[in-house]
Structure 1
Amino acid sequence: MGIFRSAASLNDRLQALGEAAEIGGSRLTPAEHAALTRVATAAQERRALSGDHTVVGFFGATGSGKTSLFNAVVGENLGQAAARRPTTSSPLAAIWHPEGSEELLDWLEVEDRRTRPGDFTKKAGPLILLDLPDFDSVEPVHREIATRLAGQVDVLVWVTDPEKYADAIIHDDFIRPHALHSDITLAVLNKSDRLSETDRQTVSRSYAQLLSDDGLRNVTVISTSATTGYGIDELRTAIAQVSAEHTAQQRRIEADIDAATATWAGAKPPKSVPNSAKRALDEALTTAAGADALADVTAAAYRKRLGQKTGWVLTAWMLRLRPDPLRRLGLREEADTSDVHRSSMPTLDAASKAVANRGVREYAARVAEGLPEQWQHAVGDCTEQVVEKLPEELDRVATRTKLPAQPSGVWNIFTLLQWLALLAALVGVGWYLAIAFLPGIITPLLGETIPEVEGWPVPTLLIMAGLLLGIVLGLFTAAFGFAISAVIRSRTRAALRDEVSEVSGTVVEDPLLDIRDDYADFLAKISLARG
């Protein structure tokens, strides 16, 4: 991979700008979204029209001599041909090489069109000069026209005079909003014939400083006089030079993109949400889902089932008379992935919901860190939707979790021993009964005397061993069951926490992080749009 990357094309930049507007959507302020959309749309429309013509707009306040200057640059008083145009009330276009300009002028909504013969200059090429309504006119429609065309023309010519060059309306409402358009801006100090040479230089420097304060870089002030013709050739040369380069349209679009995306210049996506935030969320939701209570129930079910399986046979049957703790709640050991089965566990109470809500909101706060205000609002709105949906999802956690309440097959050995112990005791009892009631059968087989071991009759030993072994095994497995149930409780809580983690990932984490990821994607598109 090379060290240097080629700059993005204007097509790529405009596409990225449109995608940024789409990603931002309602998470941008209306003004921000409108600016991105307007630039992307207007640029595409402008590029689809004549690329040969350079459109130069003359903008100025009432009394600045803008129209007189326009006529001087054109070389003819075009206003004389229109009796209804005593002042600049609608745009007027002077066109050199009009071929292909009709759709462009339609897009600019300029109806008054005057074709000029020949060339503006030898190298200027196709050119359109626009004389626009005064932007400080008392007529709102005139101001609207000037504002609209200030966002559409390829080159901006700001015309002022020694009396109004510092007026706030010029700088605050028009020049400063186009501060990034220095490359396609010409500044004119008209009516300079009213000043001495020294004053003219002083006022020009002052005007240039104001433009610099507005944010325009390296804009030269051209002093003119429509009355004497002073500076007209210099202005014509400047216009011709911009037109001859045939880059004004592109530079205008690039400046529009920079202006529309200036809010996010240098912005970096926030850092990843720490894993500890997700762990804290899962812990809060696990607690809210009643994991501790369910872990206790599972441990109790394990002890009961282990007692039924390995307890003393003569008493273990009584455990079956007690209801199974899990089945009493409608729970099964196997996980229900179909979400068809429902348990009898109580729904989340107010306290549990409060714990869950607090956990979600704390996690959302970490997600919102480093995001702009509108994106933080989006995280907040999404959080409210999550909080509303979450209790139902947590209610299903128990049925989705495999609960380790069934003793393993290893305990079957103890079950077998219990039955062998019982069998031994029964053999001893049966031996004595046979001697008492069936001597005719036992005596021929075993003789007159009962076998002994260390002075203990074998039937007695069988009875005692069987009973004691059963009791000892029962006590041993019961004690061991209590110890294992602590492990079962821990395993159950861990299993529930894993299930809660999946639920929180789908219901909480994903939608909230999507907003954060969208912001990162938005900034990536903005960065590409800025080239």
Structure 2
Amino acid sequence: MSRHSGAREFSSLDRRLQALHDAVDAAAGVLPEPPLQAVLEVLARASSRRSLSADHTVVGFFGATGSGKSSLFNAVSDADIAMTAARRPTTSEPLAGVWGADGSGPILDWLDVGQRHRADPVEGFADESTGLILLDLPDFDSTREANRAVVQRMVGLVDVLVWVLDPQKYADAAVHQGFLAPLAAHGAVTLVVLNQVDRLPSPDVAPVLESLRGILSGEGLGAVRVLAASAVTGQGVDAVRTAIRTAAVQRRAQGQRLAADVARAAEELAAVSGSGRAAGVQPASRKQLAAELAAAANVPVVVRAVARSYRLEATRRTGWPVTRWLARFRPDPLRRLNLRSSAPAEVNRTSLPPAGAPEQARTDAAVRAFADAAGAGAPGPWRAAIRAAAREARDRLPDALDQAIAGTDLAANKRSWWWGVFNVVQWLALLTAAAGLGWLAVLAGLGYLQLPVPEVPRVEGWPVPTVLIGLGVVLGILLALAGRFLAAGAAAARAATARRRLHMAVAAVAQEQVVGPVERAVDRSAAFAVALKKASAR
């Protein structure tokens, strides 16, 4: 492997490791803790392995009792390394054979391998720039729990896995289901050796190898290289040694092993998460949510109060002065709702009726429908996370809506320009009628006192005082009626403005309390999916 291709491979691995880390961050609190913790352990192992010697390739020999694993280990090593530890029981603890480059100590410490043997050079096996560490490991089917624990741990740590099987137990379910099948993603760094083929008649070797390949293919390991060997006769040992030497010289095993770990971890996260993609927040569902919250928050009540308040105030300002004072005895709807207060919005509250069971049920239903629409298509855990995000402000929502209504400028204290004009004309009409009445009163007084009564001017035969009275009264009534029509139209416009502003305020609350959290939850699910796809990329 060239320096440039190696750099590209590790750069790609860096990106995949970061993507896997991003996926765990996105899924925190959404997916169950055990699988997330398992992925974090994979990331921790990858970080530890990459911080150690990149010049050494660690090859582990795994096998069942009687498979001849230690014998094959010695044959490949061209030495009796597995027997060099004076008091070492047969394959009861890891034993390392080390070739090539110096600096194997830290990585063997990390592997917790105490038995170490600096092996004599084997021609072409490793050189001073290529480090190679072979590990003879305990039997995976050992009756000792400690031995099985060592094997399980080493399966997750070594760079290359060499599985030594024998003709009698090569199809053993324990090794296939317990070890090989879960490592389907690690085919590039797995080597399967059928040892002790010298015990088979020559015509049976090929069928047994074909049967073994079929079993492995069914477990997703069809690309794994399968070799036949005999530690006793030396048959196939050179081929095993060559395969190991190739992995060490190319220096790709470490990266391939870590890439396989990342792929498997990503697959396990995907299995826990499930497939699918959230529909996300749509404009129609956002609008529907705001409309439902507005209804539950009594916005229609406030809008009607705005219209009634305007009409009442218009009557007080422009009605016939003789009767307009009666309007002062009618309560202002907005004042009753505490929506004419000049108190700051942060301390002001409305006097709208508090949300009861029906309003709360309507709010809950609206939020639930919104969350379900946004989470449609998402896998189960993410749908649940989106629903939870929508509900997290459930207790704060009624108060937030009330605060929004209280803080909305309803233009309740804003006067219309025509009020002043109508008011002046009304008073002029009243003064005209009063002048006519006064004139007639003077004439009546003079007559009562038997004093000379002057001739009253006439217009078209009508006495001027009578004309003044009629003109003033009729004009006042007409202005009052016209004011009612104008007030009705202006009240509708004022109510429409209030409705628009209130809906904007409610929509802002919905965005902050419901839509925003849901959008963030949807974005988290999308980020998780993207990160998982990057981590899974081969």
Query: Could you say whether these structures have the same fold, taking a TM-score greater than 0.5 normalized by the shorter chain as the test?
Result: yes
Instruction: Judge conservation of contact 1:333–1:403 (CA < 8 Å) in 2.
Output: no
Q: 1:153 aligns with which of 158, 161, 164?
A: 158
Match among 48, 73, 77 for residue 51 of structure 2: 48
Aligned-residue Cα RMSD (Å) equals 2.6
Whether the 8 Å contact between 2:456 and 2:464 is mirrored in structure 1 is yes
- Does residue 408 in structure 1 map to residue 416 in structure 2? yes
Secondary structure (helix, strand or coil) at the match of 1:388 reads coil
Q: What letter corresponds to residue 52 of structure 2 in structure 1? A: L
Instruction: State how far apart, in whole Å, the 2-side matches of 1:252 and 1:79 are.
Output: 25
CA distance in 1, matches of 2:95, 2:283: 64
State the match for 1:393 in structure 2. Answer: 400
The answer to whether 1:310 aligns with 2:315 is no
Matching of residues 461-500 of structure 1 within 5 Å: 461-500=467-506
Any idea what the Cα deviations from partners look like across 1:457-503, whole Å, max 9, x if unmatched?
A: 22221221111111121122224434544444444333322211111
Contact 2:39 2:265 in 1 (8 A): yes
Whether 1:427 and 2:435 are equivalent positions in the alignment is yes
Percent identity between matched residues is: 41
CA shift, 1:194, in A, is 1.0
One-letter code aligned to 2:255: Q
Q: Under a length normalisation based on structure 1, what TM-score does the superposition of the two structures give? A: 0.91
Provide TM-score, normalisation by structure 2: 0.90
In the alignment, is residue 364 of structure 1 matched against residue 367 of structure 2? no
1:90 is aligned to 2:93: yes
SS at match of 2:351: coil
Which deviates more from structure 2 when the two are superposed, residues 208-217 or residues 475-484? 475-484
- Residue type matched to 1:475 in 2? L
Q: Measure the CA separation in 1 of the matches of 2:456 and 2:92.
A: 135
Mapped to 2, the partners of 1:423 and 1:78 lie a distance apart of 126
Contact 1:120 1:240 in 2 (8 A): no
> Structure 2 residue aligned with 1:259, among 264, 271, 276?
264
Describe how 1:24-43 pairs up with structure 2 within 5 A.
Answer: 24-43=27-46
Q: Is the 8 A contact 2:184 2:219 kept in 1?
A: yes
Assess if the C-alpha contact under 8 Å between 2:279 and 2:375 holds in 1: no
- Once structures 1 and 2 are overlaid, which stretch shifts more, 481-490 or 511-520? 481-490
- Whether 2:250 is the aligned partner of 1:245: answer yes
Could you tell me which residue of structure 2 aligns to residue 321 of structure 1?
329
Which of residues 193, 197, 200 is equivalent to 1:195? Answer: 200
Q: Which residue of 1 aligns with 2:512?
A: 506
User: Is 1:175 aligned with 2:180?
Assistant: yes
Report the more deviating stretch, 347-356 or 249-258: 249-258
Report Cα offsets for 1:47-88 as digits up to 9, x if no partner.
110000000011112221111211221122223333443222
Contact 1:311–1:477 (CA<8 Å) still a contact in 2? yes
Please say if 1:101 is aligned against 2:101.
no
> Which of 289, 292, 300 lines up with 1:292 in the alignment?
300
User: Among residues 505, 521, 530, which one is paired with 1:515 in the alignment?
Assistant: 521
**1:22 shift after superposition:** 1.4
Name the structure 1 match of 2:5. none
Aligned to 1:63: 66
Give, as a single letter, the amino acid of the residue that structure 1 aligns with 2:19: A
Q: Which residue is 2:121 aligned to?
A: 118
Is the CA contact 1:29–1:374 (under 8 Å) kept in the aligned structure 2?
no
Quick one: which amino acid aligns to residue 240 of structure 1?
R
Q: Structure 1 stretch 181-190 or stretch 263-272: which is displaced more?
A: 263-272
Q: Contact 2:279–2:378 at 8 Å: present in 1 too?
A: no
Shifted more, 74-83 versus 287-296: the winner is 74-83
Give the superposition deviation at 1:159: 1.2
Cα deviation, 1:207-232, whole Å, max 9, x if unaligned, reads 11111111124222111112222211
Aligned to 2:15: 12
CA gap 1:307/1:62 in 2 versus in 1, 3 angstroms: same
Whether contact under 8 Å (2:294, 2:506) holds in the other structure is: yes
- Taking the aligned partners of 1:45 and 1:247, their CA distance within structure 2 comes to 17
CA separation of 1:332 and 1:168: change in aligned 2, threshold 3 A:
farther
Residue 460 of structure 1 is matched in structure 2 by: 466
Q: Are 2:232 and 1:227 equivalent residues in the alignment?
A: yes
Post-superposition shift, 1:308?
Answer: 0.6
Counterpart residue number, 1:383? 390
| 1:286 counterpart SS class | helix
Amino acid across the alignment from 1:57: G
Tell me how far 1:377 sits from its aligned partner: 2.3
CA contact under 8 A between 2:276 and 2:379: conserved in structure 1? no
394-403 or 308-317, which moves further after superposition? 394-403
1:160-190 deviation digits (Å, cap 9, x = unpaired): 1112211222122211111111111111111
Amino acid of the residue matched to residue 395 of structure 2? E
- Give the drift of 1:7: 10
Q: 1:160, 1:220 → 2: CA distance?
A: 13
What is the distance in 1 between the residues matched to 2:443 and 2:426? 26
**2:394 alignment partner, SS class:** helix
Gaps (5+ residues) in structure 2? Answer: 1-7
Mapped partners of 1:330, 1:6: distance in 2: 69
8 Å contact kept, 2:159–2:189 = yes
Q: 164, 167, 171: which is aligned to 2:169?
A: 164
Moved more, 203-212 or 214-223: 214-223
Structure 2 CA distance for aligned equivalents of residues 299 and 434 of structure 1:
46
In structure 2, what is the Cα distance between the partners aligned to 1:388 and 1:342?
17
In the alignment, residue 204 of structure 1 is paired with which amino acid?
A: L
What is the DSSP-based 3-state SS (H/G/I as helix, E as strand, rest coil) of the residue aligned with 1:314? coil
Give yes or no for contact 1:97–1:119 (8 Å, CA) kept in 2.
no
Q: Is the 8 A contact 1:93 1:110 kept in 2?
A: yes
Residues 211-226 of structure 1 aligned to structure 2 (within 5 Å): 211-226=216-231
* SS, match of residue 396 in structure 2: helix
- The equivalent residue for 1:353 is 360
- Quick one: which amino acid aligns to residue 78 of structure 1? I
How many residues align structurally? 521
1:158 shift after superposition:
1.2
Residue of structure 1 aligned with 2:190, choices 185, 210, 215: 185
Unaligned runs of 5+ in 1: none
State the distance in 2 between where 1:370 and 1:392 align: 32
The worse-fitting range, judged by mean Cα deviation, of 323-332 and 481-490 is 481-490
Is the contact between residue 312 and residue 327 of structure 2 (CA under 8 Å) also seen in structure 1? yes
* Structure 2 CA distance for aligned equivalents of residues 76 and 500 of structure 1: 81
